[in-house]
Amino acid sequence: MATNITWHPSLSRTERESYRKQKGFTIWFTGLSASGKSTVATALEQHLLHLGLAAYRLDGDNVRFGLNKDLGFSEKDRNENIRRIAEVSKLFADSATIAITSFISPYRADRQVARELHEKSAQGDDKSLAFVEVYVDIPIEVAEQRDPKGLYKKARAGEIKDFTGISAPYEAPENAELSIKTHENSVEECVAQIVKYLQEKDLIQISA
């Protein structure tokens, strides 16, 4: 662990939100591989940007090309993967940006650590609004039927170890803010469901 370091404070999140005229928070998508997380997250990012809101998506595959390219898929590496993403998304939220993360993030404990990190950093009366967990809830049979990358097939054949849902566990959220079903609703309907929630919680404001 690093020593002899000092945190240098900057503008508060409240000040940044005032200047940027929007709130900063994180929308954390979790679910099985091929559940539709990235598809919905991408559509949501585009929708929010079209509304004039600053939003940025962090995708599970994309970050492994750079920030987390040194990590594998063991439980220890998965824990570290989520820890780093939680820290990065918190910084986005602190900057008054809407961070959108799309990660399997299979362990409840890791997602709870991410939540607590955001709540600790948040300001105002309702710190729970700093972290919005969205569970992309589909049966594993549907995910396997989709299997766009052929990963389930490889996992079933023993070619991929520690594959979530097959040879490694997925711990579904127990109290997610939202649950969406991409096998029952279109991408547009899922985005609308999320946007409605954000409006109801006064996390975003949409001009008429």
pTM: 0.91
Residue-wise pLDDT tens digits, 22-63: 999 999 999 999 999 999 999 999 999 999 999 999 987 788
When divided into structural domains, the chain yields a total of: 1
Return the higher-pLDDT residue of 124 and 197.
197
- The 10 Å CB-count burial string (b at 16+, else e) for 166-178 is bebebeebeebbb
Asked if residue 151 belongs to a domain, the reply is no
Instruction: Output the six-digit token pair for 89.
Output: 């998304």
Asked if residue 144 belongs to a domain, the reply is no
Asked if residue 205 belongs to a domain, the reply is no
Nearest to 29 by CA among 111, 109, 93: 111
Model confidence at 140, pLDDT cuts 50, 70, 90, reads very high
Return the higher-pLDDT residue of 208 and 31.
31
- The 10 Å CB-count burial string (b at 16+, else e) for 77-104 is ebbbbbeebbebbbebbbbbbbbbbbbb
Asked if residue 63 belongs to a domain, the reply is yes
Instruction: Output the six-digit token pair for 97.
Output: 């940006």
Annotated active-site residue in 105, 128, 167, 186: 105
Q: What is the CATH number of the domain that holds 20?
A: 3.40.50.300
Instruction: Check the CA dihedral 109-129-58-117 and report its sign.
Output: negative
Residue 13 has pLDDT above 90, yes or no: no
Asked if residue 149 belongs to a domain, the reply is no
Let me know if 179 is a catalytic residue.
Answer: no
Q: How far does CA 199 lie from the centroid of its chain?
A: 19
Residue-wise pLDDT tens digits, 172-188: 999 999 999 999 999 99
Asked if residue 123 belongs to a domain, the reply is yes
- Write out the residue range of the structural domain in which residue 79 sits: 13-137+169-200
Asked if residue 154 belongs to a domain, the reply is no
Asked if residue 162 belongs to a domain, the reply is no
